[in-house]
A = this chain, B = another copy of it.
Amino acid sequence: MSHTINDDDVDIVIAAIRPDLTTFMEEWRIIFSRFHLIIIKDPDLEKDLQIPPGFNHDVYTKLDIERVVGPAASASLSFSGYLCRYFGCLVSRKKYIVSVDDDCVPAKDDKGHLVDVVAQHITNLRVPATPFFFNTLYDPYRPGADFVRGYPFSLRNGVECALSCGLWLNVADYDAPTQIVKPQNRNSRYVDAVLTVPVGVMMPLSGINVGFKREVVGPVMFPGFRLSGEGKKRCETLEDIWSGMCAKVVCDHLGLGVKSGLPYVWRGIGEENDAMESLKREWEGVKLMEEVVPFFQSVRLPRTAVTAEQCVLEMAGMVKQRLGPLDPVFERAANAMVEWVKLWKAIGSGSS
Protein backbone atom coordinates (compact mmCIF):
# COMPACT_ATOMS: atom_id res chain seq x y z
CA MET A 1 0.00 0.00 0.00
CA SER A 2 3.08 2.27 -0.13
CA HIS A 3 1.85 4.00 -3.30
CA THR A 4 -0.96 5.62 -1.34
CA ILE A 5 1.32 7.40 1.16
CA ASN A 6 1.59 11.14 0.74
CA ASP A 7 5.32 11.86 1.12
CA ASP A 8 4.48 15.06 2.94
CA ASP A 9 2.64 13.21 5.68
CA VAL A 10 5.73 11.43 7.01
CA ASP A 11 8.86 12.42 8.90
CA ILE A 12 11.56 9.82 9.39
CA VAL A 13 13.23 10.53 12.74
CA ILE A 14 16.77 9.24 13.24
CA ALA A 15 18.74 9.47 16.47
CA ALA A 16 22.39 9.60 15.44
CA ILE A 17 24.21 7.78 18.23
CA ARG A 18 27.15 7.03 15.92
CA PRO A 19 28.77 9.73 13.79
CA ASP A 20 29.04 7.79 10.54
CA LEU A 21 25.55 7.29 9.10
CA THR A 22 26.82 6.35 5.64
CA THR A 23 26.09 2.62 5.76
CA PHE A 24 22.83 3.12 7.58
CA MET A 25 21.51 5.64 5.08
CA GLU A 26 22.73 3.86 1.98
CA GLU A 27 20.95 0.72 3.15
CA TRP A 28 17.74 2.64 3.72
CA ARG A 29 18.04 4.89 0.64
CA ILE A 30 15.48 3.02 -1.44
CA ILE A 31 12.88 3.38 1.31
CA PHE A 32 13.75 6.66 3.02
CA SER A 33 14.85 8.90 0.13
CA ARG A 34 11.33 10.03 -0.83
CA PHE A 35 10.59 11.27 2.69
CA HIS A 36 11.86 14.12 4.80
CA LEU A 37 14.37 13.02 7.43
CA ILE A 38 14.90 14.59 10.84
CA ILE A 39 18.32 13.60 12.13
CA ILE A 40 19.15 14.45 15.72
CA LYS A 41 22.78 14.20 16.72
CA ASP A 42 23.33 12.77 20.19
CA PRO A 43 24.44 15.89 22.15
CA ASP A 44 27.25 13.81 23.70
CA LEU A 45 28.70 13.07 20.28
CA GLU A 46 31.68 15.23 19.39
CA LYS A 47 32.63 14.08 15.90
CA ASP A 48 30.86 15.52 12.87
CA LEU A 49 28.07 13.46 11.34
CA GLN A 50 28.72 11.78 8.02
CA ILE A 51 25.59 11.76 5.91
CA PRO A 52 25.66 10.71 2.26
CA PRO A 53 24.16 13.11 -0.31
CA GLY A 54 20.74 12.72 -1.91
CA PHE A 55 18.46 12.92 1.11
CA ASN A 56 15.98 15.59 2.05
CA HIS A 57 17.02 16.03 5.65
CA ASP A 58 17.51 18.43 8.54
CA VAL A 59 20.13 17.84 11.18
CA TYR A 60 19.63 19.05 14.74
CA THR A 61 22.57 19.32 17.13
CA LYS A 62 23.16 20.12 20.77
CA LEU A 63 22.98 23.82 19.96
CA ASP A 64 19.57 23.45 18.31
CA ILE A 65 18.27 21.47 21.24
CA GLU A 66 19.47 24.06 23.74
CA ARG A 67 18.02 26.88 21.68
CA VAL A 68 14.59 25.27 21.22
CA VAL A 69 14.20 23.63 24.60
CA GLY A 70 15.62 26.48 26.65
CA PRO A 71 17.47 26.38 29.95
CA ALA A 72 14.41 25.80 32.18
CA ALA A 73 13.25 22.63 30.45
CA SER A 74 16.84 21.46 29.96
CA ALA A 75 17.12 20.98 33.71
CA SER A 76 14.40 18.30 33.62
CA LEU A 77 14.75 16.88 30.13
CA SER A 78 17.78 14.93 29.02
CA PHE A 79 18.31 14.47 25.29
CA SER A 80 21.44 12.40 25.77
CA GLY A 81 21.98 9.19 23.81
CA TYR A 82 18.84 7.52 22.53
CA LEU A 83 16.80 10.24 24.20
CA CYS A 84 17.82 12.74 21.51
CA ARG A 85 15.29 11.08 19.23
CA TYR A 86 12.41 12.68 21.05
CA PHE A 87 13.56 16.10 19.90
CA GLY A 88 12.34 15.03 16.48
CA CYS A 89 8.76 14.93 17.79
CA LEU A 90 9.05 18.54 18.83
CA VAL A 91 10.22 19.87 15.49
CA SER A 92 8.18 17.65 13.18
CA ARG A 93 4.93 19.04 11.77
CA LYS A 94 3.90 15.86 9.95
CA LYS A 95 1.00 13.51 10.52
CA TYR A 96 3.12 10.38 10.92
CA ILE A 97 6.51 9.78 12.49
CA VAL A 98 8.54 6.68 11.73
CA SER A 99 11.71 6.12 13.70
CA VAL A 100 14.38 3.45 13.31
CA ASP A 101 17.56 3.04 15.34
CA ASP A 102 20.79 3.74 13.50
CA ASP A 103 22.11 0.20 13.95
CA CYS A 104 19.32 -1.29 11.85
CA VAL A 105 19.01 -1.95 8.12
CA PRO A 106 16.02 -3.12 6.07
CA ALA A 107 14.93 -6.70 6.70
CA LYS A 108 13.67 -9.22 4.16
CA ASP A 109 10.37 -10.97 4.63
CA ASP A 110 9.88 -14.74 4.59
CA LYS A 111 9.72 -14.68 0.79
CA GLY A 112 12.97 -12.76 0.45
CA HIS A 113 11.36 -9.42 -0.41
CA LEU A 114 12.64 -6.18 1.07
CA VAL A 115 10.42 -4.98 3.91
CA ASP A 116 9.20 -1.41 3.40
CA VAL A 117 9.16 -0.35 7.02
CA VAL A 118 7.46 2.98 6.32
CA ALA A 119 4.67 1.50 4.22
CA GLN A 120 3.92 -1.15 6.84
CA HIS A 121 3.87 1.28 9.76
CA ILE A 122 1.57 3.65 7.85
CA THR A 123 -0.70 0.74 6.93
CA ASN A 124 -0.81 -0.32 10.57
CA LEU A 125 -1.73 3.23 11.57
CA ARG A 126 -4.37 3.70 8.88
CA VAL A 127 -6.10 0.36 9.32
CA PRO A 128 -8.26 0.18 12.47
CA ALA A 129 -7.15 -1.59 15.63
CA THR A 130 -9.26 -4.05 17.64
CA PRO A 131 -8.37 -3.64 21.32
CA PHE A 132 -11.64 -4.85 22.87
CA PHE A 133 -11.71 -8.49 21.82
CA PHE A 134 -8.87 -10.71 20.67
CA ASN A 135 -9.03 -11.97 17.07
CA THR A 136 -7.26 -15.32 16.91
CA LEU A 137 -6.50 -14.81 13.19
CA TYR A 138 -4.52 -11.64 14.06
CA ASP A 139 -5.28 -8.52 11.97
CA PRO A 140 -8.84 -9.09 10.72
CA TYR A 141 -8.54 -6.34 8.10
CA ARG A 142 -5.65 -7.92 6.26
CA PRO A 143 -6.48 -9.20 2.77
CA GLY A 144 -7.64 -12.81 3.09
CA ALA A 145 -8.44 -12.48 6.81
CA ASP A 146 -11.56 -11.54 8.71
CA PHE A 147 -13.10 -11.67 12.15
CA VAL A 148 -13.33 -15.15 13.63
CA ARG A 149 -16.67 -16.73 14.56
CA GLY A 150 -17.87 -15.32 17.86
CA TYR A 151 -16.43 -11.84 17.30
CA PRO A 152 -19.19 -9.31 18.15
CA PHE A 153 -20.34 -7.44 15.06
CA SER A 154 -20.59 -4.20 17.02
CA LEU A 155 -16.80 -4.30 17.53
CA ARG A 156 -15.90 -5.02 13.91
CA ASN A 157 -15.40 -1.41 12.92
CA GLY A 158 -12.45 -1.26 15.28
CA VAL A 159 -10.91 1.96 16.55
CA GLU A 160 -8.28 4.37 15.32
CA CYS A 161 -4.71 3.07 15.62
CA ALA A 162 -2.23 5.56 17.04
CA LEU A 163 0.93 3.56 17.56
CA SER A 164 2.67 0.78 15.63
CA CYS A 165 5.49 -1.15 17.28
CA GLY A 166 7.68 -3.10 14.88
CA LEU A 167 10.08 -5.98 15.53
CA TRP A 168 13.65 -7.04 14.78
CA LEU A 169 15.38 -9.90 13.09
CA ASN A 170 18.95 -10.91 13.94
CA VAL A 171 19.82 -9.10 17.21
CA ALA A 172 16.63 -9.01 19.27
CA ASP A 173 15.81 -6.30 21.75
CA TYR A 174 16.99 -7.86 24.99
CA ASP A 175 18.01 -6.16 28.21
CA ALA A 176 21.59 -6.04 29.43
CA PRO A 177 21.50 -9.26 31.53
CA THR A 178 19.86 -11.30 28.75
CA GLN A 179 22.29 -9.89 26.22
CA ILE A 180 25.16 -10.97 28.46
CA VAL A 181 23.77 -14.42 29.19
CA LYS A 182 22.87 -15.12 25.56
CA PRO A 183 25.28 -13.04 23.46
CA GLN A 184 24.89 -15.38 20.48
CA ASN A 185 21.08 -15.52 20.54
CA ARG A 186 19.64 -14.38 17.20
CA ASN A 187 16.03 -13.95 16.18
CA SER A 188 15.53 -15.70 12.86
CA ARG A 189 11.78 -16.21 13.04
CA TYR A 190 9.80 -13.98 10.72
CA VAL A 191 6.26 -13.97 12.10
CA ASP A 192 3.96 -12.69 9.39
CA ALA A 193 1.43 -11.00 11.66
CA VAL A 194 0.26 -7.70 13.05
CA LEU A 195 -1.92 -7.72 16.11
CA THR A 196 -3.59 -5.21 18.36
CA VAL A 197 -2.30 -5.30 21.91
CA PRO A 198 -5.60 -5.55 23.83
CA VAL A 199 -6.91 -2.78 26.03
CA GLY A 200 -5.54 -2.96 29.57
CA VAL A 201 -2.57 -5.08 28.54
CA MET A 202 0.88 -3.62 29.08
CA MET A 203 3.76 -4.41 26.74
CA PRO A 204 7.38 -3.33 26.38
CA LEU A 205 7.31 -0.87 23.51
CA SER A 206 10.69 -0.90 21.85
CA GLY A 207 11.82 2.36 20.32
CA ILE A 208 14.05 0.59 17.82
CA ASN A 209 11.40 0.52 15.11
CA VAL A 210 8.19 2.48 15.65
CA GLY A 211 5.60 4.48 13.80
CA PHE A 212 2.97 6.72 15.33
CA LYS A 213 0.53 9.54 14.76
CA ARG A 214 2.44 12.58 15.93
CA GLU A 215 -0.40 14.74 17.14
CA VAL A 216 -1.86 11.94 19.25
CA VAL A 217 1.22 10.21 20.60
CA GLY A 218 3.71 13.08 20.54
CA PRO A 219 2.73 14.40 23.99
CA VAL A 220 3.53 10.97 25.45
CA MET A 221 6.80 10.37 23.64
CA PHE A 222 8.89 12.29 26.09
CA PRO A 223 12.56 11.94 27.06
CA GLY A 224 13.59 11.86 30.67
CA PHE A 225 13.52 8.29 31.93
CA ARG A 226 17.24 7.83 32.09
CA LEU A 227 18.88 5.21 34.26
CA SER A 228 21.86 6.38 36.26
CA GLY A 229 24.30 3.75 34.94
CA GLU A 230 23.04 3.97 31.39
CA GLY A 231 25.49 3.92 28.51
CA LYS A 232 25.08 4.18 24.78
CA LYS A 233 23.70 0.69 24.26
CA ARG A 234 20.03 -0.01 23.72
CA CYS A 235 20.14 -2.95 26.10
CA GLU A 236 21.02 -0.57 28.94
CA THR A 237 18.12 1.83 28.38
CA LEU A 238 14.51 1.91 29.46
CA GLU A 239 13.43 5.29 28.07
CA ASP A 240 11.29 3.81 25.32
CA ILE A 241 9.79 1.15 27.58
CA TRP A 242 8.68 3.87 29.96
CA SER A 243 7.25 6.26 27.39
CA GLY A 244 5.74 3.25 25.60
CA MET A 245 3.82 2.26 28.70
CA CYS A 246 2.67 5.85 29.15
CA ALA A 247 1.52 5.76 25.53
CA LYS A 248 -0.33 2.47 26.04
CA VAL A 249 -2.16 3.78 29.09
CA VAL A 250 -3.09 6.96 27.22
CA CYS A 251 -4.24 5.10 24.10
CA ASP A 252 -6.32 2.71 26.23
CA HIS A 253 -7.89 5.64 28.03
CA LEU A 254 -8.65 7.58 24.86
CA GLY A 255 -9.99 4.52 23.03
CA LEU A 256 -7.08 4.33 20.57
CA GLY A 257 -5.28 1.23 19.38
CA VAL A 258 -1.67 0.04 19.69
CA LYS A 259 -0.32 -2.64 17.35
CA SER A 260 2.69 -4.94 17.51
CA GLY A 261 4.28 -7.20 14.92
CA LEU A 262 5.24 -6.28 11.35
CA PRO A 263 7.31 -4.52 10.09
CA TYR A 264 10.66 -6.09 10.91
CA VAL A 265 14.05 -4.42 10.67
CA TRP A 266 17.39 -6.21 10.56
CA ARG A 267 19.27 -5.20 13.66
CA GLY A 268 22.90 -5.37 14.50
CA ILE A 269 25.23 -3.46 12.21
CA GLY A 270 27.94 -1.75 14.17
CA GLU A 271 27.08 -3.71 17.28
CA GLU A 272 30.07 -4.05 19.57
CA ASN A 273 30.28 -7.20 21.56
CA ASP A 274 31.37 -5.62 24.81
CA ALA A 275 29.51 -7.97 27.10
CA MET A 276 32.45 -8.02 29.49
CA GLU A 277 32.19 -4.29 30.04
CA SER A 278 28.47 -4.53 30.76
CA LEU A 279 29.08 -7.40 33.15
CA LYS A 280 30.87 -5.02 35.47
CA ARG A 281 27.72 -2.97 35.93
CA GLU A 282 24.57 -3.84 37.75
CA TRP A 283 21.64 -3.05 35.47
CA GLU A 284 19.24 -0.83 37.38
CA GLY A 285 16.40 -1.83 35.08
CA VAL A 286 16.09 -5.29 36.67
CA LYS A 287 14.96 -3.68 39.89
CA LEU A 288 12.94 -0.81 38.47
CA MET A 289 10.69 -2.82 36.16
CA GLU A 290 9.31 -4.67 39.17
CA GLU A 291 7.76 -1.36 40.22
CA VAL A 292 7.09 0.15 36.81
CA VAL A 293 4.92 -2.62 35.36
CA PRO A 294 2.48 -2.98 38.28
CA PHE A 295 2.23 0.79 38.43
CA PHE A 296 1.18 1.17 34.81
CA GLN A 297 -1.12 -1.85 35.06
CA SER A 298 -2.98 -0.13 37.87
CA VAL A 299 -3.17 3.41 36.49
CA ARG A 300 -6.74 4.58 35.94
CA LEU A 301 -7.10 8.03 34.43
CA PRO A 302 -10.05 10.29 35.29
CA ARG A 303 -12.79 10.86 32.73
CA THR A 304 -11.89 14.53 32.77
CA ALA A 305 -8.60 13.74 31.01
CA VAL A 306 -9.66 13.85 27.37
CA THR A 307 -6.42 14.80 25.61
CA ALA A 308 -3.05 13.09 25.60
CA GLU A 309 -1.55 16.17 27.27
CA GLN A 310 -4.02 16.00 30.15
CA CYS A 311 -3.42 12.27 30.51
CA VAL A 312 0.34 12.76 30.76
CA LEU A 313 -0.05 15.44 33.43
CA GLU A 314 -2.39 13.16 35.42
CA MET A 315 0.12 10.33 35.16
CA ALA A 316 3.01 12.58 36.14
CA GLY A 317 1.18 13.29 39.40
CA MET A 318 0.66 9.60 40.07
CA VAL A 319 4.28 8.79 39.24
CA LYS A 320 5.50 11.43 41.64
CA GLN A 321 3.19 10.31 44.41
CA ARG A 322 3.37 6.52 44.09
CA LEU A 323 6.77 5.83 42.56
CA GLY A 324 8.66 8.96 43.56
CA PRO A 325 9.51 7.77 47.08
CA LEU A 326 11.02 4.54 45.72
CA ASP A 327 13.79 5.89 43.53
CA PRO A 328 14.98 9.32 42.33
CA VAL A 329 14.63 8.16 38.71
CA PHE A 330 10.86 8.30 39.11
CA GLU A 331 10.83 11.79 40.54
CA ARG A 332 12.95 12.91 37.61
CA ALA A 333 10.62 11.16 35.17
CA ALA A 334 7.57 12.86 36.66
CA ASN A 335 9.23 16.26 36.33
CA ALA A 336 10.25 15.46 32.76
CA MET A 337 6.65 14.56 31.89
CA VAL A 338 5.40 17.92 33.12
CA GLU A 339 8.15 19.81 31.31
CA TRP A 340 7.54 17.86 28.13
CA VAL A 341 3.85 18.74 28.05
CA LYS A 342 4.77 22.40 28.45
CA LEU A 343 7.26 22.16 25.60
CA TRP A 344 4.83 20.19 23.50
CA LYS A 345 2.11 22.81 23.88
CA ALA A 346 4.53 25.62 23.12
CA ILE A 347 6.52 24.04 20.31
CA GLY A 348 5.44 20.54 19.32
CA SER A 349 1.71 20.68 18.98
CA GLY A 350 1.60 22.72 15.78
CA SER A 351 0.54 21.07 12.55
CA SER A 352 1.80 21.63 9.03
Q: Which residues of B contact A71 (CB under 8 A)?
A: none
What separation, in Å, do the CA atoms of A133 and B204 have in the docked complex? 8
Check A220 for interface membership: any CB of B closer than 8 A: no
Q: How far is the CB of A283 from chain B (nearest CB, A)?
A: 10
Whether B260 pairs with A134 at a CB distance below 8 angstroms is yes
Interface membership of A146, Cβ < 8 A: yes
* Number of copies of this protein chain within its complex: 2
**With an 8 A cutoff between CB atoms, is A280 at the interface?**
no
A234: nearest residue on chain B (CB-CB)? B149
A148 touching B136 by the CB < 8 A rule? no
Q: Is A241 an interface residue (CB 8 A)?
A: yes
Q: Which residue of B lies closest to A172 (CB)?
A: B137
Nearest first, the 6 A-B pairs at minimum CB distance are: A150-B204, A150-B241, A134-B203, A149-B175, A198-B201, A191-B193
Q: Are A152 and B185 in contact (CB under 8 A)?
A: no
> Does any Cβ of B come within 8 Å of A165's Cβ?
yes
The one of B151, B185, B197 in contact with A144, judged by C-beta atoms closer than 8 angstroms, is B185
Does A149 contact B189, Cβ atoms closer than 8 Å? no
A305 on the interface (CB 8 Å rule)? no
Check if A110 is an interface residue, CB within 8 A of chain B. Answer: yes
Chain B residues contacting A178 (CB-CB under 8 Å) are 146-147, 149
CA–CA, A150 and B291, complex, Å: 11
The 28 listed contacts between A and B (C-beta, < 8 Å) are A133-B202, A133-B204, A133-B293, A134-B204, A136-B204, A136-B206, A137-B167, A142-B189, A144-B186, A144-B188, A146-B174, A146-B178, A146-B185, A149-B174, A149-B175, A149-B235, A149-B241, A150-B205, A150-B244, A150-B289, A151-B175, A152-B289, A152-B292, A189-B192, A190-B192, A193-B193, A200-B201, A201-B201
Contact of A148 among B110, B144, B173, B188 (CB under 8 A): B173
Within the complex, the shortest CB–CB distance from A115 to chain B, in Å, comes to 16
Binary interface encoding of chain A residues 210-251 relative to chain B, with 1 for a CB under 8 A from any of its CBs, else 0: 000000000000000000000000110010010010000000
Determine whether A182 belongs to the interface, using a CB cutoff of 8 Å to chain B.
yes
Interface residue A145 (Cβ < 8 Å from any Cβ of B): yes
What is the CA–CA distance of A191 and B137 in the complex, to the nearest angstrom?
9
User: A261 — nearest CB in chain B belongs to which residue?
Assistant: B136
- Min CB–CB distance A46 → chain B (angstroms): 28
Shortest Cβ distance from A198 into B: residue: B201
Tell me, in angstroms, the Cα distance from A204 to B152 when the chains sit together: 10
A141 at interface, CB cutoff 8 A: no
A24 contacts the other chain (CB 8 A): no
Given A150-B289, A289-B150, A293-B152: A202 and B134 interface contact (C-beta under 8 Å): yes
Most chain-B Cβ atoms within 10 A of its Cβ — which of A135, A152, A174? A152
Closest to A287 in B: B153
A286 interface residue, CB < 8 Å from B?
A: yes
CA distance A289 to B153 in the complex (A): 8
Are A172 and B146 in contact, with the CB atoms below 8 A? yes
Is A187 close to B, CB under 8 A?
A: yes
- Judge if A58 is at the interface, Cβ distance under 8 Å: no
Query: A186 — which chain B residues lie within 8 A by C-beta?
Result: 144
A206 touches B148 (CB 8 A): yes
A133-B293, A145-B189 are known contacts; what are 19 more A-B pairs with Cβ within 8 Å?
A110-B110, A134-B197, A134-B203, A136-B165, A137-B172, A144-B185, A144-B186, A144-B187, A148-B173, A148-B206, A149-B178, A149-B206, A150-B205, A150-B206, A152-B289, A152-B293, A192-B192, A198-B201, A200-B201
